[in-house]
């Protein structure tokens, strides 16, 4: 099966590494803005890869550049591990060239001042009640076009979004008649030794973390100030950590796809030093997403900051510690209340030894490969646009065990108040 991977950063390097271990992929084209990164990765992987590897340069903001590449390579499936800014152009090119589409993050625009997007955003904020720049409406709107073309688009197959929803579908299938409460807990107990760095693309990460929080309760969104809701949790493999409620994209799809759910919250751990740095950068305007004039040039502060911060793809050798990501479910089984916690613990150094990347890239890249393999092998295939919780979770859960992200089911967990 021919796979086109777009992007060659931290997440892509793990996803491609893992695709090379899976015999479902016979030819892989790695295409990104900077082809030298693709060439370096292909050279590293070729000696052990099961698939034939090719490289190319592509500007994924430009549909024609994508179509040209796809017409030549003729991929069966395209894995988008570039940035969320490129989701729609890549979906358009897939439709034009008859390829299935897979990604790990929902669409957000690079330019939040663009008038058509801004008008739709203002309307959505008023009607839906959450102000995040990213949401699923743009990609869900492609459903009919993918259906008519007989193609599958699988959205958000990283860890969160991604595995967290597969855990939910698995809990729904095997442990509950109805799930009422979902708490998604994302803990990174890793230490990279820098005063401040982000574990994935800094621009996307800081946009997400510095925004208002929100959760889903009784059929509507409740929005909070950034970091307003804090809890402490004792994570297996990591220990006690402070965690904060954030808005996160899978809340939107789970609210739509899990019947009877009453509340969905997402918490992520942050150390005090990270928060102090982030608040300071925010206070001085360095997280700004709109252009400012500086010495006759337009610069976007958060893009300039990205250029100064360590590249997340280089954190692998220096990051020690573990991540623990999972979901606590409360609901009803056979008329009785039940609580189940499904989680994965991942060690930064073990990930580095295997793939050269730290655990945040690893926990995203492995599920990116698994979701792509589900579509490529036909185990998950339906015409239209889907989130991962809409398919049978069992083959995906098996693949997590097989490809390096084993999971644990705890039927007596400590819950979050």
Interaction site with ligand NDP (CB under 6 A)? 7-12, 32-34, 37, 58-61, 81-84, 86, 104-105, 156, 158-162, 200-201, 204, 312-313, 364
CB nearer to ligand NDP: pick between 34 and 273? 34
Residue 159, classed as helix, strand or coil, is: coil
Residue 360: name the closest of 228, 174, 190 by CA.
Answer: 190
User: Taking the complex as a whole, how short is the minimal distance between the CB of residue 250 and ligand NDP, in angstroms?
Assistant: 8
CA–centroid distance for 132 within its chain: 15
CB nearer to ligand NDP: pick between 38 and 261? 38
Phi and psi, residue 265, nearest 5°:
-125, 155
| CA–CA dist 378, 77 (Å, integer) | 11
CB nearer to ligand NDP: pick between 25 and 159? 159
Task: Give the pair of three-digit tokens for residue 18.
Answer: 């893992």
CB nearer to ligand NDP: pick between 176 and 183? 183
CB nearer to ligand NDP: pick between 7 and 213? 7
User: Taking the complex as a whole, how short is the minimal distance between the CB of residue 103 and ligand NDP, in angstroms?
Assistant: 7
User: Taking the complex as a whole, how short is the minimal distance between the CB of residue 174 and ligand NDP, in angstroms?
Assistant: 23
User: Taking the complex as a whole, how short is the minimal distance between the CB of residue 315 and ligand NDP, in angstroms?
Assistant: 10
CB nearer to ligand NDP: pick between 149 and 368? 368
CB nearer to ligand NDP: pick between 5 and 171? 5
- β-sheet bridge partners, residue 4: 29, 78
User: Taking the complex as a whole, how short is the minimal distance between the CB of residue 202 and ligand NDP, in angstroms?
Assistant: 8
CA within 13 Å, CB half, 302: 20
| CA–CA dist 234, 401 (Å, integer) | 24
Residue 288 near residue 301 (C-beta atoms within 8 A):
yes
Strands 297-299 vs 220-224: parallel, antiparallel or unpaired: unpaired
CA within 13 Å, CB half, 17: 26
User: Taking the complex as a whole, how short is the minimal distance between the CB of residue 90 and ligand NDP, in angstroms?
Assistant: 9
CB nearer to ligand NDP: pick between 68 and 178? 68
| CA–CA dist 256, 124 (Å, integer) | 16
Task: Give the pair of three-digit tokens for residue 139.
Answer: 């990609």
User: Taking the complex as a whole, how short is the minimal distance between the CB of residue 365 and ligand NDP, in angstroms?
Assistant: 8
Residue 267, classed as helix, strand or coil, is: strand
- β-sheet bridge partners, residue 193: none
**Helix-, strand-, coil-residue percentages of the chain, each rounded to 5:** 40, 25, 35
CB nearer to ligand NDP: pick between 149 and 203? 203
- Distances, alpha carbon 162 to alpha carbons 158, 165, 387, 400, in Å: 5, 5, 8, 12
Task: Give the pair of three-digit tokens for residue 208.
Answer: 């997400």
Q: Please calculate the CA angle 164-169-171 and round it to the nearest 5 degrees.
A: 90
CB nearer to ligand NDP: pick between 9 and 331? 9
User: Taking the complex as a whole, how short is the minimal distance between the CB of residue 126 and ligand NDP, in angstroms?
Assistant: 26
Q: Nearest to ligand NDP by Cβ — which residue?
A: 9
User: Taking the complex as a whole, how short is the minimal distance between the CB of residue 264 and ligand NDP, in angstroms?
Assistant: 16
User: Taking the complex as a whole, how short is the minimal distance between the CB of residue 157 and ligand NDP, in angstroms?
Assistant: 7
Residue 254 near residue 182 (C-beta atoms within 8 A):
yes
The alpha helices in 182-325, defined as continuous H runs, are 202-209, 249-257, 272-283, 301-308
Given CA atoms 152, 157, 161, 163 in this order, what sign does their dihedral have? Answer: positive
């Amino acid at each position: 099966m021919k796979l086109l991977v777009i992007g060659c950063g931290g997440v892509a390097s793990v996803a491609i590494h893992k695709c090379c271990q899976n015999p479902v992929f016979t030819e892989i084209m790695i295409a990104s803005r900077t082809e030298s990164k693709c060439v370096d990765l292909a050279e590293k992987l070729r000696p052990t890869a099961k698939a034939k590897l090719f490289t190319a340069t592509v500007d994924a903001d430009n549909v024609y550049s994508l179509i040209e590449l796809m017409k030549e390579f003729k991929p069966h499936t395209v894995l988008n591990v570039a940035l969320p800014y490129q989701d729609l152009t890549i979906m358009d090119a897939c439709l034009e060239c008859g390829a299935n589409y897979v990604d790990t993050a929902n669409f957000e625009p690079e330019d939040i001042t663009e008038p058509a997007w801004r008008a739709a955003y203002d309307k959505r904020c008023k009607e839906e009640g959450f102000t995040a720049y990213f949401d699923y409406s743009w990609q869900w709107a492609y459903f009919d076009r993918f259906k008519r073309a007989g193609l599958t688009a699988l959205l958000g197959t990283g860890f969160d979004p991604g595995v967290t929803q597969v855990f939910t579908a698995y809990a729904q299938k095997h442990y509950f008649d109805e799930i009422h409460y979902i708490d998604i807990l994302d803990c990174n107990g890793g230490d990279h030794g820098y005063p401040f760095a982000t574990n994935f693309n800094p621009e996307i990460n800081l946009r997400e973390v510095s925004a208002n929080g929100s959760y889903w309760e009784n059929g509507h969104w409740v929005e909070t100030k950034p970091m307003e809701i804090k809890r402490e949790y004792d994570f297996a493999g990591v220990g006690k950590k402070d965690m904060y409620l954030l808005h996160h994209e899978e809340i939107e799809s789970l609210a739509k796809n899990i019947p009877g759910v009453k509340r969905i919250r997402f918490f992520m751990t942050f150390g005090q030093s990270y928060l102090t740095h982030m608040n300071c950068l925010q206070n001085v305007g360095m997280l700004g997403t709109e252009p400012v004039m500086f010495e006759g040039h337009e610069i976007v502060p958060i893009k300039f900051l990205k250029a100064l911060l360590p590249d997340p793809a280089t954190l692998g050798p220096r990051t020690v510690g573990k991540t623990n990501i999972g979901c606590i479910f409360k609901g009803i089984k056979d008329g009785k209340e039940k609580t189940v916690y499904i989680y994965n613990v991942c060690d930064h150094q073990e990930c580095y030894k295997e793939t050269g990347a730290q655990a945040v890239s690893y926990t995203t890249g492995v599920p990116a490969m698994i979701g792509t393999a589900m579509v490529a092998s036909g185990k998950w295939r339906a015409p239209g646009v889907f989130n991962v919780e809409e398919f049978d979770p069992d083959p995906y859960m098996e693949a997590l065990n097989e490809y390096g992200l084993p999971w644990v089911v705890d039927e007596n967990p400590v819950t979050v108040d």
